[in-house]
Amino acid sequence: MYKIYLDHVSYIYGQGTPFEKKALDDVSLGIRAGCMTGIIGHTGSGKSTMMQLLNGLASPTEGKVLLDDYDINSRPEEVLEACKSLPPYRNLSKSAAKKAIKAEVTRRRRELCFRVGLVMQYPEYQLFEETVFKDIAFGPQNMGLSEEEIKARVLEAAEFTGIESDLLDKSPFDLSGGQKRRVALAGVIAMRPEVLVLDEPAAGLDPRGRDFIFEGISHYQKTTGSTVLIVSHSMEDMARYCDDMVVMANGQVKMHGNCKEVFSKVSDLSSIGLDIPQITQLMALLREKGMDVPQDIYTVDAAVSAVKRFLETGKGGV
Ligand SMILES: Nc1ncnc2c1ncn2[C@@H]1O[C@H](COP(=O)(O)OP(=O)(O)O)[C@@H](O)[C@H]1O
Ligand SMILES: [Mg+2]
């Protein structure tokens, strides 16, 4: 079951102007529910554009974006045609059905930014409140939740993202870069989105900061069973945290599969100019030197186990 499905989606910037640019070119792609999917590809391959289409921030020039099979850019007139013979609309007069469907489409549209939480690149620039608490509370407040529920959401989001409680009363502007990034992430997590979309969430952070961010995202995903999409340049992070991977180039999806499937296509990846994780390259080198370790190793932890096994038994395979 796909949580999100892109059905022949194209996106053109500046259509009809001399600067026209096709950023997405007939992309069809299904994102599995409850999984973490990594999106990789060079700068300009269309990753950010694709992320912005997922919560309606932009609408496709062509094609549809489906969330649980519902076209997020549906117009009331289209829904009216499709639904007027269905309950609860079929017993209403034409004008009452039209009104009810319009209200429903508007409600779904409004809900979309809570259901699909988008963490843009460098989100810390969007922090603006006096305190960390208020910043994290901004989303839940817009959802119209009670004060009590808002507080619970803020504390939960702070916990997911490793924000210590003594930071909540501080100004977000007094925090370190990594802490600010976590506050921005917490602000989206506090809406408890079913789908969490992150555009290069760890860009510019040091390794410790990266780990904090990825651990927070992974913790949220595992605890809530939500669907997560992450754009990243780091093959290492993708291999460590993601179930599936999508490889983009020139506005198209070039590969899609689990990490094993994608990383096994070394020559396809290198023809796009992308590398396999360094640890996989190291394992290939060890194999060349005659060490019997498996080829399909993508994380440092798995490599350590394989090398240990080899040293103990002379065989690194399972
Ligand atoms: N606001 C914009 N106006 C015009 N062209 C844009 C705009 N944003 C992105 N593009 C172009 O669309 C293509 C895809 O960009 P983007 O989605 O940002 O890719 P990525 O995130 O993979 O780097 C690039 O060629 C980029 O130059
Ligand atoms: Mg980008």
Could you report the per-residue pLDDT of 97-111, keeping only the tens digit for each?
A: 888 888 988 888 889
Is 168 in the same domain as 263? yes
Which residue lies with its CA nearest to atom 26 of ligand 1?
A: 44
Is 128 in the same domain as 236? yes
Query: Is the Cβ atom of 41 under 6 angstroms away from ligand 1?
Result: yes
| pLDDT tier, 289 (very low <50, low <70, confident <90, very high otherwise) | confident
Is 185 in the same domain as 39? yes
Q: Is the pLDDT of residue 216 over 60?
A: yes
Query: Is the Cβ atom of 277 under 6 angstroms away from ligand 1?
Result: no
Is 100 in the same domain as 114? no
Query: Is the Cβ atom of 46 under 6 angstroms away from ligand 1?
Result: yes
At 313, the amino acid letter reads: T
Q: Is the pLDDT of residue 317 over 70?
A: no
Is 148 in the same domain as 43? yes
Which residue lies with its CA nearest to atom 2 of ligand 1?
A: 13
User: Is there a contact between 73 and 60 (Cβ–Cβ < 8 Å)?
Assistant: yes
How many folded domains does the chain comprise? 3
Is 86 in the same domain as 44? no
How many angstroms separate the alpha carbon of residue 200 from the centre of ligand 1? 15
Lowest mean pLDDT among 39-48, 107-116, 193-202, 287-296: 287-296
* Mean pLDDT, rounded, for 82-95: 83
| pLDDT tier, 140 (very low <50, low <70, confident <90, very high otherwise) | very high
Query: Is the Cβ atom of 44 under 6 angstroms away from ligand 1?
Result: yes
Compute the mean pLDDT over every residue in the chain, rounded to the nearest whole number.
91
Query: Is the Cβ atom of 49 under 6 angstroms away from ligand 1?
Result: yes
Kindly give the number of the ligand 1 atom that is closest to the alpha carbon of 248: 22
User: Is there a contact between 195 and 115 (Cβ–Cβ < 8 Å)?
Assistant: yes
Indicate which ligand has the atom closest to the C-alpha of 249: 1
pTM comes to: 0.90
How many angstroms separate the alpha carbon of residue 198 from the centre of ligand 2? 10
310 lies in which domain range? 277-318
Question: What pLDDT shows up at residue 280?
Answer: 85
Is 200 in the same domain as 260? yes
Is 118 in the same domain as 60? yes
The end-to-end CA distance of the chain, in Å, is: 31
* Mean pLDDT, rounded, for 91-97: 86
* Mean pLDDT, rounded, for 215-226: 95
Q: Is the pLDDT of residue 318 over 70?
A: no
Is 88 in the same domain as 201? no
Burial (CB count <10 Å: 0-12, 13-18, 19+), residue 67: buried
Residues 6+ apart with CB under 8 A from 177: 124, 204, 205, 209
**Percent of the chain scoring above 70 in pLDDT:** 99
Alpha helices in the chain (DSSP H): 47-53, 76-83, 94-115, 132-142, 147-160, 177-189, 207-224, 235-241, 259-263, 266-272, 278-288, 300-313
Is 298 in the same domain as 257? no
d(CA 183, CA 189): 10
Q: Return the best residue to mutate from 10, 48, 230, 254 for the ligand 1 pocket (most ligand atoms within 8 A of CB).
A: 48
Is 56 in the same domain as 174? yes
How many angstroms separate the alpha carbon of residue 47 from the centre of ligand 1? 8
